[in-house]
Amino acid sequence: MSTYSEDKRKVTTRRFQEMKERGEKIAMLTAYDYSLARLVDEAGIDAILVGDSASNVMVGNATTLPMTLDQMIYHARCVTNGVKRALVICDMPFGSYQGNPTEALASAIRIMKESGAEAVKLEGGIEIKESIERILSAGIPVMGHLGLTPQSINKFGTYNVRAREEAEAQKLLDDAMMLQEIGCFAVTLEKIPAALATRVSQALSIPTIGIGAGNGTDGQVLVLQDMLGINKGFSPKFLRRYADLADVIDSAIGNYIGDVKSGDFPNADEQY
């Protein structure tokens, strides 16, 4: 475990709240599979989001819309199998909660029962209030998600920064307050102006987790493959790359191919 996480206690939604109260930033990353989730957890991350960005990162789809409930449950199960300490939050996929509160609750219950995730995340504000309330009524922790909501790409048409205009900024603030009032434990703020994210974070007593939302939020989240430099085709301004794994992988595989072709691999010590 990295030096950043001397506290080995399991991270819970309650600890998220404690972290906000003492001003400790929350570090979150996505993961979609057992092997990487285990490494991310062992490095000391506070929370792992099984994002529906799996649609882009794992499946190669252009949007998050095709992801199904079964697929999200599969990825979340892979992740929880590898995680001991981090809080695991699973995205509810498009179409699994917008229809009506009963369907939303049934979807959330499937995620909790079948994947072992400890919370769910839903995109949207007042439009999905009843669905969130119904899920919360079953004792399932909910993280909200405001700002850029990729499941609504067909409504907005772009992945540009959201809530630059005052009317949209005010709606976002109202939605965030509503999410807190009904009992969400945290809110993700995606790709909004830093000043607005700071304003929302200061107005809320629950933690905000930002992505492309500046440094005034209570925590940060990045897509694992983006920050590790595996997905080199994606370079938004907000992304900081902590490794260039695409180059490392390319070189390792090139060396392997060369060794196989030349007959150098396996050698006498690498056989039975």
Which residues of the shown chain bind ligand KIV in the complex (CB under 6 A)? 30, 49, 51-53, 91, 188, 190, 211, 221, 223
**C-beta of 183: minimal distance to ligand KIV in Å?**
20
Who's near 213: CB < 8 A, 6+ residues apart? 147, 189, 190, 191, 192, 193, 194, 196, 197, 238
**C-beta of 142: minimal distance to ligand KIV in Å?**
14
**C-beta of 250: minimal distance to ligand KIV in Å?**
25
The two three-digit tokens of residue 165, written as one number: 């205009």
**C-beta of 182: minimal distance to ligand KIV in Å?**
20
Q: Between residues 131 and 217, which has the closer beta carbon with respect to ligand KIV? A: 217
On whether the CB atoms of residues 105 and 75 are closer than 8 A, the answer is no
CA angle 151, 30, 80 (to 5 degrees): 110
Q: Between residues 51 and 219, which has the closer beta carbon with respect to ligand KIV? A: 51
| Dihedral sign (CA 95, 98, 99, 100) | positive
Q: Between residues 41 and 190, which has the closer beta carbon with respect to ligand KIV? A: 190
Q: How far is CA 97 from the centre of its chain?
A: 18
Q: How far apart are CA 111 and CA 20, in angstroms?
A: 27
Which residue lies nearest ligand KIV, judged by its C-beta?
Answer: 51
From 123, 130, 166, 190, active-site residue: 190
**C-beta of 122: minimal distance to ligand KIV in Å?**
10
Q: Between residues 82 and 147, which has the closer beta carbon with respect to ligand KIV? A: 147
Q: How far apart are CA 74 and CA 85, in angstroms?
A: 20
Q: Between residues 19 and 211, which has the closer beta carbon with respect to ligand KIV? A: 211
Who's near 50: CB < 8 A, 6+ residues apart? 30, 31, 32, 72, 75, 76, 79, 88, 89, 90, 91, 115, 117
**C-beta of 120: minimal distance to ligand KIV in Å?**
12
The two three-digit tokens of residue 189, written as one number: 């703020």
Q: How far apart are CA 186 and CA 33, in angstroms?
A: 24
CB neighbours (10 Å) of residue 18?
Answer: 11
The two three-digit tokens of residue 95, written as one number: 């179409």
Q: Between residues 190 and 218, which has the closer beta carbon with respect to ligand KIV? A: 190
Catalytic residue status for 190: yes
Active site residues: 190
